[in-house]
């Protein structure tokens, strides 16, 4: 299954119709600009608590998402 077909399948599962996809495309530049900072803050919060600090995390916040960016919503 190609990447486009997989994305279509995931969007259908989440019940994202063309209207929702259009809305995601509209805010994509904002998400792309802010995702690294948001993930950095998230991982900082995770590391602040002993219960979650010792769990494995990506070495660089956002590194796990890098293959999925940018322009993943068509």
Q: What is the pLDDT of residues 12-66, one digit of tens each?
A: 999 999 999 999 999 999 999 999 999 999 999 999 998 888 766 565 555 555 5
CA angle at 6 for the pair 69 and 8, rounded to the nearest 5°: 90
What is the reported pTM? Answer: 0.54
Q: What pLDDT sits at residue 9? A: 93
Does residue 31 lie in a domain region?
Answer: yes
Q: Which domain holds residue 56?
A: 3-68
Q: How confident is the model at residue 71 (pLDDT cuts 50, 70, 90)?
A: low
Number of separate domains in the chain? 1
pLDDT of residue 52: 86
pLDDT of residue 57: 58
Label residue 29 exposed, middle or buried (CB < 10 Å: 0-12, 13-18, 19+): exposed
Give the model's pLDDT for residue 16: 92
């Amino acid at each position: 299954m190609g990447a486009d077909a997989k994305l279509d399948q995931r969007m259908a599962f989440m019940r994202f119709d063309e209207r929702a996809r259009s809305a995601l495309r509209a805010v994509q530049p904002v998400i792309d600009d802010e995702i690294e900072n948001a993930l950095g803050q998230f991982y900082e919060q995770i590391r602040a608590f002993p219960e979650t600090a010792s769990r494995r995390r990506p070495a660089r916040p956002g590194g796990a998402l890098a293959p999925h960016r940018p322009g993943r919503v068509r």
